[in-house]
Amino acid sequence: MENAKKRAWNNSLIISSIYVGIGTLAVLCSYPPYYNDFILVIQLLTFPVIIFSFGIMIAGKYYLAVILIQIIIFLIFWYICYQLMIKRYLKKV
């Protein structure tokens, strides 16, 4: 039981860090000097976690606000991933 929780905790942390981190980099690089087609593909893949930050970036270059919003979204996404994985791992045990 404890092993399943620890495994779910670690896996959810890794998955959410990578997914939200890639989305954050895509939003921060979306301003015109860095904008290209590759960033558009990444933004489409990570759209659920960057929607609010993308709006802030379009309204103005508020990098600190984008990072704060992404930290909050990371915590929410991590919690959701953890809950889904703990259910999955406890079914196997």
Q: What is the DSSP secondary structure assignment for residue 31, as one 8-state letter?
A: S
Residue that the structure tokens 């079914």 belong to: 91
Query: Where do the H-state alpha helices sit in the chain?
Result: 2-28, 37-45, 47-59, 63-92
> Token pair for residue 84?
């889904």
Sign of the four-CA dihedral 48, 35, 66, 85: positive
* pLDDT tens readout for residues 13-63: 999 999 999 999 999 888 776 677 788 888 889 999 999 998 998 888 889
> Token pair for residue 60?
């103005």
pTM above the 0.75 mark? yes
